[in-house]
Amino acid sequence: MAQTLQTSSSSSEPSDGRVVAIRGGVVDVAFSGAAPRIYARVQTEGITMEVASIVGDGVVRCIALGPVRGIGLGARARVDAAGIEVPVGEAVLGRMLNIFGDPLDGQSPPDAVERRPIHQSPPQLTDRLLRAEVMETGIKAIDLLSPIEKGGKTGLFGGAGVGKTVLLSELIHNTVEHHKGVSLFCGIGERSREAEELWREMGDAGVRDQMVMLFGQMNEAPGVRFLVGHSALTMAEYFRDDREQDVLLLIDNIFRFVQAGSEVSGLLGRMPSRVGYQPTLATELASLQERIASTRKGAITAIQAVYVPADDFTDPAAAHIFSHLSASVVLSRKRASEGLYPAVDPLASTSVMLTPNVVGQRHYDIARAVRRTLAEYEDLRDIIAMLGIEELSAHDRAVVARARRLERFLTQPFFTVDASAGTSGKLVPVADTLHGCEAILSQTSFDHPESAYYMIGPLSDLTGALA
C-alpha cells in the first residue's frame, strides 16, 4: 500500500494558533510554538483548512476548504496533524460524497471501518504492471481509432459544447454495467445539475451499488476543487490495493483541477508562469496522474474529460495532460457543427493500443485505411469547394464517396440522449465496427445515399447492406 506523504517542520507538536490574514481562499495562521506540518488539517470557526506552505516564524499559509466569510482576524485555530482523511471500504459504495467523505445524498454518513489521508505516494516502479489489454466501449469511433487501454489513462479533449460530458456519460453507461470491479466518478468543478442527473441515471441503470460518486462542485472553494481528485484516488487505491479489484475512474473535468490549482497558486502569492498558469502546474498534475496506475494487485483505468480553452491544443494545461495519457480522444468543433456525433476527430485521436500486437493486424490495417481515406478527403475539400466534385478524377470521386460514408457510419445514437434526440441508443461490438468499415472501404459504388449511413449501429442496420 502507498505510504502517506508528510513534511514536518519540527518534531514538537504545534500549539493553538490565531488567524492573522485572509486573502480570498487562503488564510494565514500564526502559532506561538512550532509550525504544523505541510498537509496538516487546521480548523477555525467551523471551516476546515489545509496547510499549503510555511511562511516562517510560526506562520503557515492554509487553503480554505469552505467559505471564508465566517472567519475573522484573531480567530482561534486548532491543528490535526493527521491531515484531511476520507472513509474507505465497502460502506462508500452506492454513495454520493464530498471531499471529506461526508454524504451529499441525504443519507447518514458511511459507516467506514477506516479513514485514510488523501495525500498518498504513487506506487513504486517495481510494483507497477503494464497490461496490453483493450477495454471495449461499444462506441464505433473510439473502439476503431482510439482504443482504450485497460489500466491506462484516456483523455476526452474538446472545447466548450462539443460533447465531452455526453460522451463521458455514454462511456459510463456502456462500461459500468459490464465492469466487474468498482466504478468511481469524480466531478471536479461541475454543475450541480449534472451531479443530480448522473446520480439519478446510475440508479435507473441499476449500477449505483457498485459505484462511488465524489463531487467538488463549481460553486465551492478552489481548494475543494483542487483536492477532491486526491480524495477520489485514495478511495480508488483502497479497492485496488486492499480489495485487489479493478477500478474504473471517471473524472469530469480534469482541466478544472488545473484551473483550481491556478486560483490557489495566485492566492498563495506565487509568480504566474506561461499564460498565467501556476509555476507548479507540471508537478501538481503529475502528483495526481501518477497515482493512477496498474499494479500486481489490480488496475485503475481512468477516463478523463479535458476542457481545451478556446480550442487551443497548445495551451499548457492541455499539453501537460496529453503527456500522461495512453489514449487521446479529440473532439472536433467542425464535426460537431456538421452534426457528426460523437464529434471524434479521426485524424487527431490516438492510442498506444492501436498496434498489430495488441488489437491484431486486421484491426490495425482497417484503422489505417480509414484514416488514410479520411485524410485524402480532407485534402480534396478545397478543390471540391472551388471547382465541384465533377472535376475530380474517378479515383478521387470514389475516395470522396467512401470517406463521406465512413464519416456518417462512425456516428452513433447514444443511450444517454435518446429521450431528447428521439432515437434509440446503439452499442456496437468491435467486430461489427470492423466489418462495416471494411465493407465501405472495399466498394467503389454504393446502392444507398450517404444519409442512410448516418446514426446507425452496425452496418446490418442499413437496409439491404451486405452481410
Which of left, alpha, beta for 91 (phi over 0: left; psi -120 to 50: alpha)? alpha
Per-residue pLDDT of the chain (467 residues; tens, 9 = 90+): 444 554 444 445 667 899 999 998 899 999 988 889 999 999 998 899 999 999 988 899 999 999 998 899 999 999 988 899 999 999 999 999 999 999 998 899 988 679 999 999 999 999 988 878 899 999 999 999 999 998 899 999 988 888 888 898 888 888 887 777 889 999 999 888 888 888 888 887 777 888 899 999 999 999 999 999 999 999 999 999 999 999 999 998 899 999 999 999 998 989 998 888 999 999 999 999 999 999 999 999 999 999 999 888 899 999 999 999 999 999 999 999 999 999 999 999 999 999 999 999 999 999 999 999 999 999 998 888 888 888 888 999 999 999 999 999 999 998 888 656 667 888 999 999 999 999 999 988 888 999 999 999 999 988 644 43
Give the Cα separation of 456 and 140 in Å (integer): 10
The confidence score (pLDDT) of residue 421 equals: 60
Q: What are phi and psi of 54, to 5 degrees?
A: -105, 115
Q: State the catalytic residue, choosing from 50, 190, 220, 284.
A: 190
Q: What are phi and psi of 399, to 5 degrees?
A: -60, -45
Q: State the catalytic residue, choosing from 164, 240, 291, 335.
A: 164
Give the bridge partners for 57, in sequence order.
none
**Cβ-proximal residues to 262 (8 Å cutoff; 6+ apart), any chain:** 272, 276, 277, 278, 281
CB contact at 8 A, 213 and 187: yes
Catalytic status, residue 140: no
Give the Cα separation of 108 and 395 in Å (integer): 67
Question: In the chain, how long is the greatest CA-to-CA distance?
Answer: 85
C-alpha to C-alpha distances, 276 to 221, 272, 273, 324, 413, nearest whole angstrom = 20, 5, 5, 22, 40
CB contact at 8 A, 353 and 301: no
CB contact at 8 A, 270 and 283: no
- Tell me the torsion sign for CA atoms 344, 157, 337, 188: positive
Catalytic status, residue 191: yes
Q: State the catalytic residue, choosing from 131, 191, 200, 381.
A: 191
Give the Cα separation of 318 and 325 in Å (integer): 11
Q: How many residues does the chain have?
A: 467
Q: Taking the mean position of all CA atoms in its chain, how far away is CA 357?
A: 27
Catalytic status, residue 335: no
Amino acid identity of residue 24, one-letter, is G
CB contact at 8 A, 407 and 340: yes
The confidence score (pLDDT) of residue 223 equals: 94
The packing angle between helices 254-267 and 281-289, to 10°, is 140
CB contact at 8 A, 228 and 260: no
Amino acid identity of residue 233, one-letter, is L
The confidence score (pLDDT) of residue 75 equals: 93
User: Alpha helix (H) ranges present in 61-159?
Assistant: 140-145
What's the pTM?
Answer: 0.88
